[in-house]
Each structure stands twice: as C-alpha cells, then as structure tokens.
Amino acid sequence: REGVYIVRCDSNTFYATVQRALGSSALNIPVVVVYDVDALKHGDQLLDAAINGGAPAPALTAAKGQDVPVKRAALDGLGWIPADANFEDEVCRCGYDGSAFDVIRDEGVEGGYTKFLTDRSLSKDGASAAAYIVASRFKRWLKIALARSVAAKVQTTKKVPPCFELALKRAVALAAP
C-alpha cells in the first residue's frame, strides 16, 4: 500500500460508485467511511448506498425501516464510523465553533443566523452555529467553507474531532505494509 487518501463523497450515490471502484470486487483497496448519523433519521439511503457499493446485504437489509440505533449497529458491523450527529456538530464540539462563527460572518449570512437564533430562542454557541449551517439554504456552501476553515486550523491546533481521528488511525493501519 502506498498511503492514505481522503475522498470526499458528498452523497450516497457517489459513495456507492467509489466503493464499487475500490472494493474487493474491483481494486481491493480498503475503505474507511465516516458518516453523519443524522442521515439515518431521514430514511435508508445510506444503507442502500452501502449495499449498492458491495457491502454484505443481509444485516443492512434487515436494518432498513428500523430505528436509528438498529441502522447504526448495521453500519458499525461494516466498521463505519459515525459522526454524531454530523460533521458540523462534531467540529463545533471539538473546539472549532469559532470557525463556524467566522464562516457565518465571512460568508455574509450573519442576518440569517441572528434570525435563526431569534426564531428558535437559541443562544449563540457552537451547537446553534452547527444547526444553522445544516439548516441554511446556503448549506452546501457553508459546509464547504467550514471544512476548509477547520482543515486550515487543524495544522496548528493539532485537535482532530474524535470520529475523524479514529478514521485516520484506521486508514493508516490498513495502509501499513
């Protein structure tokens, strides 16, 4: 093995494509997956993507239509790593809430964030910043800006959210000769 590469999948469909190309029936390159747990609340698309990507279907099929803990257990069985509840929550809980505030300010959506706080009687904190980014109509754009901000700062802070630290350790172990 030649090292570790991080591939951003952005969607369940793209994940299935990557997994089919890299998986045991193709190039046989190990893949470590970090997923947003909140995606399990909105249906079975993540389970379908795993099945379409070539993961063993029985446990995944049995988990379809079940509660989040059952779906999560099925994905745990694949070695997938959950981000509770999502990337934005993970990084804000890990001390990057300042990055979320910077993104909201720098991207010019402070007015929307203030209205979001007022409408929901929330205080300005990392949890509300993460919730705003996820709920915003500018979600995709804000998520990318937050990811870039965190990536730039992680070099100096040396603080990686636990789910991503586990994924990197697992990937390095898989890449070892």
Q: Bigger pLDDT: 122 or 25? A: 122
Judged against a pLDDT cut of 90, whether residue 100 lies above it is answered with yes
| Residue 1 pLDDT grade (very low, low, confident, very high; cuts 50, 70, 90) | very low
Nearest one of 12, 126, 21, 148 to 80, comparing CA atoms? 12
Coil, strand or helix at 83: strand
Q: What is the pTM of this model?
A: 0.77
- Distance of alpha carbon 147 from its chain centroid, rounded? 10
More confidently predicted of 52 and 130:
130
Q: How many CA atoms lie within 13 A of 159 on its CB side?
A: 11
